[in-house]
């Protein structure tokens, strides 16, 4: 079932989103060569809980961690690991869901570890731009397919793989709600967007093929099928009569038109 949120509810989601944004700002300070991915988890959980919120991923379908930390060819859902140390040139993706006073927000961000290659820099730039192309389509009266079509056309033009097995979703009153929000699709098709809908847009873009595999060992970690590196950016968005509003913004100046 899709619920339409009131302005009050959207403001409450924005408060949980601000905690995620603050956590990601702290991540930028510590993510560097030599740290373990477990240190990312410790910071994430500590930051969320110290701000009176709950890391909503903990306990979700048996997941044990506040964050997912996925490195290089890992697309998503990677476990934080005490014995995995980041190296110069790595690409790490950190994802979390925060619940504050019953209101949820979800955001993932990608980080360059030290100095990354020009190829990785471009992958990051393309993925972030794809996210904002999708956000620009999240307008009242448009359809879900418009979001995916805009992302897909751009990724095809750039020659990357656009993951299909994992997609965006509705959010609130739980962390995963209807509607499904694919990052591919046909313009003018799919559910019509209405004011008060809240969704995530979270393209996962691979340097190579779009195909992925899920680990048979842990049942969670998603990696590219061909070993190519992957990038992801994600925001929680509210559909409003004044255009799409980003509820997890980290940069009020850059995102001014979406706030």
Q: Does 77 carry a binding-site annotation?
A: yes
Residue found by looking up tokens 């560097």 in the block? 32
DSSP codes, 206-231:
ESS-S-EEE-TTTS--EEETT---EE
Q: Does 158 carry a binding-site annotation?
A: no
CB atoms under 10 Å from CB of 166, counted, come to: 18
Q: Does 51 carry a binding-site annotation?
A: no
Q: Does 136 carry a binding-site annotation?
A: no
Q: Does 235 carry a binding-site annotation?
A: no
Distances (CA, A) of 9 to 31, 44, 139, 251: 33, 24, 19, 22
Instruction: Answer yes or no: are the C-beta atoms of 223 and 213 closer than 8 Å.
Output: yes
Q: How far apart are CA 185 and CA 19, in angstroms?
A: 32
CB atoms under 10 Å from CB of 156, counted, come to: 12
Residue found by looking up tokens 């944004």 in the block? 21
For residue 111, the cross-strand partners are 92
Q: Does 11 carry a binding-site annotation?
A: no
Q: Does 24 carry a binding-site annotation?
A: no
Binding site listing for a divalent metal cation: 95, 106, 169, 202, 234
Binding site listing for substrate: 77, 176
Binding site listing: 77, 95, 106, 169, 176, 202, 234
């Amino acid at each position: 079932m899709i619920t339409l949120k009131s302005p009050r509810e959207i403001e409450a989601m924005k408060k949980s989103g601000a905690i995620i944004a603050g956590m990601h700002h702290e991540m930028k300070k510590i993510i560097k060569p030599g740290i373990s991915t477990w240190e990312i988890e410790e910071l994430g959980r500590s930051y969320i809980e110290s701000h009176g919120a709950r890391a909503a991923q903990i306990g979700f379908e048996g997941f044990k961690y506040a964050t997912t930390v996925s490195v290089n060819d890992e697309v998503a859902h990677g476990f934080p690991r005490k014995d995995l140390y980041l190296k110069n040139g790595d690409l790490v993706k950190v994802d979390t869901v925060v619940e504050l006073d019953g209101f949820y927000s979800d955001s993932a961000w990608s980080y360059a570890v030290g100095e990354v290659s020009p190829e990785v820099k471009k992958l990051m730039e393309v993925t972030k731009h794809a996210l904002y192309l999708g956000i620009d389509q999240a307008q009242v009266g448009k359809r879900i397919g418009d979001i995916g079509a805009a992302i897909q056309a751009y990724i095809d033009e750039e020659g990357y793989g656009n993951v299909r097995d994992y997609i965006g979703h509705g959010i609130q009153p739980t962390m995963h709600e209807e509607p499904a929000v694919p990052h591919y699709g046909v313009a003018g098709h799919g559910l019509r967007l209405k004011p008060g809908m809240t969704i995530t847009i979270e393209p996962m873009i691979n340097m190579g093929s779009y195909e992925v595999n899920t680990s048979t060992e842990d049942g969670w970690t998603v990696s590219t099928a061909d070993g190519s590196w992957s990038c992801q950016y994600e925001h929680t968005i509210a559909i409003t009569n004044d255009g799409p509003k980003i509820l997890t913004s980290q940069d009020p100046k850059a995102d001014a038109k979406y706030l």
